[in-house]
Structure formats: C-alpha cells, structure tokens
Amino acid sequence: MAKNYALILAAGKGTRMKTELPKCAFPILKKPMIEYIVESVERSRIHESYVVVGHQREVLEDLLDERAQFVYQPEQLGTGHAALCAKQSLGAKEGTTLILLGDMPLINEQIIDKILYTHHKFNNDLTVVTANFDDPEGYGRIIRDKYGKIQAIVEDANCTEDQRQINEVNTGLYAVDNQTLFKTLDFIEKNPYKNEYYLTDIVELMRNDYKVGTFTVRDKNRVMGINDLYAISIAEKFLRDEINRGHMLNGVSMINPETITIGHNVSIEGDVTINPNTTITGNSTIRKGAVIGPNTEIHNGTIHQNVKVKHSLIYDSAVHERSTVGPFAHLRNNANIGRDNRIGNFVEVKKSSTGPNTKASHLAYIGDTETGANVNFGCGSITVNYDGKEKHNTYIGDDVFIGCNTNLIAPITVEDNVFIAAGSTVTDDIPQGALAIARNRQINKADYTKHLVKPKPKNNGKK
Ligand code: UD1
Ligand code: CA
C-alpha cells in the first residue's frame, strides 16, 4: 500500500524572530512549536515523518529525538531547497507526501487528514492548501485563472499592487505525489529577488502536466505562520482560549480565564477551581476538588484531590489529598507532599517527602529530607543540607515537634516521638522519645541596665 509521508521544513533561523533560539524550537505555552506539529502528525493518517533541520540542528534533534527522522539542509537556500534535501531519504518512495512548515504550530490532525482525503478523492498530483485571510500581508498569494484554476503562488514581496489585494493565501501545506515532487524540485530555479529556491514554484512547474488542485482550510487560525514574537503572542492567545474553553466545558471553573494559561499536555478533572493569574504547564495533573491560584505556577506537577494552592510555585512535584500549599510556598525538584499537610507562608521544599499530617506553616526550608507522619516544623526551621561541597540527607520519624528556629545539620536522623527545643542547632541524631535542647542556657545579669551610659539629647541642651 502506498504510504503517506510528512516532510516538515524546520531548518530556517527565523530571522524575523530576533531571538537566539531557532524559530521552530521557540515555545508556545512553554512547549516548543515543532512538538505541536510532530504530535498532530503522529495523530493523523501519516505513516512516517521527516523533519528538515539546519540552523542549530542539534536543538531540534534533541527536542524530537526518536520521534522523527531528520534530513539535513546545510545551508538555508529556501523552502524549495529544504524540500529537495529530503530526496535521498524520500525520493524513491511510492506514496503521498504532505509538506508542512515548522512554523505552523496550530495545525491539527483533523486538517491533515482532510487534506489527504481530498487529495486522494480528486486524484490530484498536487493539492495546494489555501486559506482566506482578512489580512493576507506577508503570505504568498494564490493566483487563479478565469476558470478558478490555480496558476501560481506569488510571494508577498513579489506581488503587483493588484495581486496584493488577493485574500487567498498559500498556507505552506501541500499534499503531493512523492515521486513527482522530487522530480519537479530539481527544476526549481533560484528566485532572483531573494536568492532563494521557492517551493511555491512547483505550482507553475506542475500545472500543465499534472493534476493540480487546491483545498481551502476554513479554520484559518490553525494555519497561521509564525514569523515574529507578535505572532507567537497571537498563537498563544488562540491556544489559551481554546484549551481553557475545553476545560470549562469539562467542569473546571476558571475565574478571569484570560489570565489563566494551561499547557497542551495538562489534565484537569472536573470540580476543580482555578483562580486568576495561574499558569499550569508541562505534564501536570490536577485532580477533583482542587483549588489552584490565584498567582500560582505549576509545571510538571501532580495535585491530588481537594488540595488548595495559592500564590505559590510548584515544579516537578506532587501534593497529596487535602493538603494546603501557600501563600508564597515553593516546591521543587521532586518534592512529594503527603496528605493533609500544611506547607505555608514562605516555605521551600526541595527533593523531600513528607508523611501525612505534617506541617511547616511559616518560614522553613526543607531539603533532601524524608519525614514521617505528624511532624511539625516550627517557624524558621531549616534542614541544613549543604556543607559547602555536598548535599546531605535528613530523616525525621513520626510525631516529631521541631521548635521554632531550629537548624538540623545533615546528615542527621531524628527518630519517632521527639521534641526539639526552639532555637536548637542539632548536630547529632536524636533517639526515640527524647527532648533535644541544643543551645546555650540563658544567663540573666541582674541590675545591668543602670550601668548603661544614657545617650545625650539630640538638641545639645538648647531650648
Ligand atoms: C512561506 C511561503 C509562503 C506562505 C507562508 C505560509 C515560500 C517561498 N513561501 O513563506 O508562500 O504563504 O510560508 O506561512 O515557501 N525553511 C527551511 N529552509 C530554508 C528556508 C525555510 O527549512 O532554507 C523552513 C523554515 O524553518 C520555516 C518554513 O520553512 O519553518 C517556512 O519558511 P519561512 O521563511 O517562514 O517562509 P515564509 O516567508 O513565511
Ligand atoms: Ca513563515
């Protein structure tokens, strides 16, 4: 059976972006553009995909890794040349190739499948995918003859005044018979205007000897091309609205949804409330009954049922049932907060796990620590995990009360049922059931203040 191939052109620098990162790796809602495209292709009726890389190729290769095959374009000589670079890998194969641009991240599998369907249904050799844009500036225009048949694509910069008025644009997507494509690409000549090989020239090269048709995409937002950072903001707004709408229809309530950003791979159960200025991205999961925000950022977080998080940052961490986080807490690097915990004001938890009913309500640092159940970290308690060279672990058992302003100098083990006096700097392990006091005894010097020299009045005795 003839196969469907995808050829994604992503070798360009993206000069108009004015950023260091190659354009197709630039993030939209914190996920690189190219990943959206590859994922939509994976969900479509395409069998194999090839990505053309060039400028900073290693960035894209690292991002996609095993998910695509790569074709190298050593010098960026235009979209026609980029496609031609795939000749060795693809040229001899029988089937249909869908050409996509690496800067159209909003494309989805439904559109891809519709294009392939139309291409095969009409027995086309080439199907050019077009859209009608209110503001077509920057896009190649579709030139049709008086019968409506496509004749050519003219780039914005090469348009005559009349052509510039045309609203039908080239989306940069084409379905094309694979072997015919590579035969034709050899004949594209350098466009003198920009000194580049334009892929769009295949229309003129094929229109007389082959069946060339068009397919017009109705959902035109989906085929917008990203050329600069303003376009990134438009794409983000589009995706944000669409994703938020989907969650709201699934029973997630959002207060001021225009200030809420939910990433593409986030799953949220019903009965969750999300308050303003909240961003949840990466592979995050939010379970039933949770209340998130305001002013909260979660990336790769798992938030279990009925957890409340406000004014806080959670990265690569989990929070279990009914716990509360914030205001102003920071969980990171595999913090695993047990059920019914309270992680409160200005508390940082790094690479640590806490047992049920543990509390650190104010001003604490918990790092490289494992605690049991019912541990209370008093205000200002710190697990001192770093000796200037290496990180060390702290183990704390069940039912431990850590008084305010305690330093636990790691490595250290605090056994079950221990009480640590406030202000202690604990350097030795504490056995089960003990009270540990690690600070100087208080000295009171009687009648001391009468010896203090009284400060002179500021006005030097003047009236
Ligand atoms: C292109 C089309 C234009 C269309 C628009 C749709 C051409 C000549 N123009 O213009 O008709 O309306 O897309 O968005 O095709 N690339 C390479 N190698 C290169 C040059 C580009 O791989 O040598 C890749 C880029 O990484 C990018 C894509 O091709 O992902 C498109 O290139 P870009 O320069 O953005 O083309 P446009 O000017 O937008
Ligand atoms: Ca573009």
Mutate which of 51, 79, 214 for ligand 1 pocket (most atoms within 8 A of beta carbon):
79
Mutate which of 101, 103, 155 for ligand 1 pocket (most atoms within 8 A of beta carbon):
101
pLDDT of residue 420: 98
CB 423 within 8 A of CB 406: yes
pLDDT of residue 461: 56
Q: Who lines ligand 1 at CB under 6 A? A: 9-12, 24, 52, 73, 76-79, 81-82, 101-103, 139-140, 153, 155, 169-172, 198-200, 225, 227
Q: Which atom of ligand 1 is nearest to the CA of 198?
A: 8
Q: Which ligand is nearest to the CA of 140?
A: 1
- d(CA 227, ligand 2 centre) in Å: 5
CB 97 within 8 A of CB 179: no
Residue with the nearest Cα to atom 31 of ligand 1? 101
Q: Cβ of 240: how many Cβ atoms within 10 Å?
A: 19
CB 315 within 8 A of CB 281: no
b (16+ CB within 10 A) / e for 30-56: ebbbbbbbbbbbeebebebbbbbbbbb
pLDDT of residue 460: 63
Q: Between the CA of residue 274 and those of 131, 248, 278, 386, what are the distances in Å? A: 36, 10, 7, 36
- d(CA 13, ligand 2 centre) in Å: 11
- d(CA 266, ligand 1 centre) in Å: 31
Q: Which atom of ligand 1 is nearest to the CA of 76?
A: 23
pLDDT of residue 327: 98
- d(CA 127, ligand 2 centre) in Å: 19
Calpha distance 239→206 (Å, rounded): 36
Calpha distance 423→394 (Å, rounded): 18
Residue with the nearest Cα to atom 11 of ligand 1? 140
Q: How does pLDDT run along the chain (463 residues), one tens digit per residue?
A: 689 999 999 999 999 999 999 999 999 998 999 999 999 999 999 999 999 999 999 999 999 999 999 999 999 999 999 999 999 999 999 999 999 999 999 999 999 999 999 999 999 999 999 999 999 999 999 999 999 999 999 999 999 999 999 999 999 999 999 999 999 999 999 998 889 999 999 999 999 999 999 999 999 999 999 999 999 999 999 999 999 999 999 999 999 999 999 998 999 999 999 999 999 999 999 999 999 999 999 999 999 999 999 999 999 999 999 999 999 999 999 999 999 999 999 999 999 999 999 999 999 999 999 999 999 999 999 999 999 999 999 999 999 999 999 999 999 999 999 999 999 999 999 999 999 999 999 999 999 988 888 877 787 656 5
pLDDT of residue 182: 98
Q: Which ligand is nearest to the CA of 155?
A: 1
Calpha distance 149→143 (Å, rounded): 8
CB 346 within 8 A of CB 362: yes
Calpha distance 55→57 (Å, rounded): 5
Residue with the nearest Cα to atom 14 of ligand 1? 225
Question: What crossing angle do the helices spanning 33-42 and 57-64 adopt, rounded to 10°?
Answer: 40
Q: Which ligand is nearest to the CA of 23?
A: 1
Residue with the nearest Cα to atom 36 of ligand 1? 79
pLDDT of residue 453: 83
Token pair recorded at residue 46:
């395409």
pLDDT of residue 439: 96
Q: Which atom of ligand 1 is nearest to the CA of 103?
A: 30
Calpha distance 243→265 (Å, rounded): 10
pLDDT of residue 451: 87
Q: Which residues pair with 278 in a beta bridge?
A: 296
| Alpha carbon 177 to its chain's center | 35
Q: Which residues are catalytic?
A: 362
The Cα diameter of the chain in Å comes to 110
- d(CA 199, ligand 2 centre) in Å: 13
- d(CA 427, ligand 2 centre) in Å: 61
Q: Which ligand is nearest to the CA of 10?
A: 1
Q: Which atom of ligand 1 is nearest to the CA of 139?
A: 12
Residue with the nearest Cα to atom 28 of ligand 1? 101
pLDDT of residue 107: 98
Calpha distance 213→244 (Å, rounded): 36
In this prediction the pTM is 0.87
- d(CA 240, ligand 2 centre) in Å: 21
> Where does residue 18 rank: exposed (0-12), middle (13-18), buried (19+ CB within 10 A)?
exposed
